[in-house]
Amino acid sequence: MSEHDHSQCRSLLASLSDYVDGTLGDELCADIERHVSECRDCRVVVDTLRKTIYLYHETAAENASVPEVVRERLYRALNLEDYLA
Amino acid sequence: MSETTTEISVEALRRGDRAEFARMVEAYSGPIHRLALKMLAHPQDAEDVLQNTFLKALQHIRGFEGRSSLSTWLYRIAANEALMLIRRQRPETPLADLGPDADDNEDFAPANLSDWCCLPEQELLTSESRARLDQAIRRLPEKLRIVFLLRDIEGLSIAETGQTLDLSETAVKTRLLRARLRLRDDLGAYYGERLGERKK
Ligand SMILES: [Zn+2]
């Protein structure tokens, strides 16, 4: 591994969320990309952080409907049983 | 939750239109239930939060001024219900731990450095892994958990998450980063093990 300034690793951390969301300014992005190209640890953190968020996004879409019995009890609690299709 | 569901009329809701209220329940009960399920450990608690959210919405809909979107308003009620339930179940938590700035000096340096990105998708998303993803969320302190759920599971913007929880955007971003880094560490421990097994 090439020599570089490890004090950067910590300061980089603060911008990581914006970086993976694509909302970080160009200059800071370039700083992160330069650092990550030289620092194995930070590269792993960035890659696995991105993957972590991706996995949660993937699973989010799957639990979108309310089980039928729960739905029925909800409509009853709200006196809306006449709208239970 | 998407606002594109056939526009629900806030005006009709405020007039007390039952059919319109039923349409709102139909459109938003899924996301609210999902939020509650991921926030709380027990399905019964999640169902209570779901019911209480819409009961409160029914009580207060006349006072809804439409300054935020309907979905943000509902998420706000649901988030409060869920947080109240958690605090009621754990009354011994010192008040200081619940304050808005508690653990702001917390060190969140990443600990796990296994490179599990290369694991194949079907292995990352087995039913066991999915359960582990949910478990990792429940291990987050609730202040971080609710921010992560609203932003990364429900897909609210940073600004909407802030409105929902009465937090500044800076506070939302700080908590979101901490939540994500903790989840990354937690998943790293799990997937790192899977990775180790593959290499054997
Ligand atoms: Zn580094």
CATH code, domain with A76: 1.10.10
Is A1 a domain residue? Answer: no
Q: Is residue A47 part of a domain?
A: yes
Amino acid in the structure at residue B120: P
The answer to whether residue A28 neighbours chain B at the CB level (below 8 Å) is: no
Note down pLDDT in tens along chain B; length 200 residues: 544 557 899 999 999 999 999 999 999 999 999 999 999 989 999 999 999 999 999 999 998 988 889 999 999 999 999 999 999 988 665 555 554 444 554 557 888 999 998 899 889 999 999 999 999 999 999 999 999 999 999 999 999 999 999 999 999 999 999 999 999 999 999 999 988 888 77
Q: Which of residues 46-75 of A touch B (CB under 8 A)?
A: 47-49, 51-53, 55-60, 63-66, 70-71, 73-75
pLDDT of residue B41: 84
More confident residue, B48 or A85: B48
Report pLDDT for A42.
94
Does A2 score more than 80 pLDDT? Answer: no
CB-CB under 8 Å, A71 with B124: no
> How far is the CA of B181 from the CAs of B67, B173, B186, B189, in angstroms?
33, 12, 9, 12
Going by C-beta distance under 8 Å and a sequence separation of 6 or more, which residues neighbour residue B31?
A64, B1, B71, B75, B154
pLDDT of residue B73: 96
Report how far ligand 1's centroid is from the alpha carbon of A3 (Å): 11
Residues of A in contact with B107 (CB under 8 A): none
A62 part of a folded domain: yes
* Nearest residue to B163 (alpha-carbon basis) of B152, B151, B153: B151
pLDDT above 60 for A18 = yes
What is the CA(B57)–ligand 1 centre distance, in A?
Answer: 48
Distance from CA of A76 to the nearest CA of B (A): 10
What pLDDT does residue A1 have? Answer: 43
- Per residue in A27-77, pLDDT (tens digit) is 999 999 999 999 999 999 999 999 999 999 999 877 678 999 999 999 999
**Which pLDDT score, from 0 to 100, does residue A43 have?**
95
Domain count, chain A: 1
pTM of the predicted model as reported, rounded to 2 decimal places: 0.90
Q: Does A30 touch chain B (CB under 8 A)?
A: no
Domains of chain B: 3-93 (1.10.1740.10), 104-199 (1.10.10.10)
Does residue A85 register a pLDDT over 90? Answer: no
Instruction: Answer yes or no: is A33 within a domain.
Output: yes
Residue A70 structure tokens: 């729960």
For A69, the domain range is 6-83
What 8-state DSSP symbol labels residue A6?
Answer: T
Give CA separation, A77 vs A82, B32, B56, in Å.
Answer: 12, 16, 12
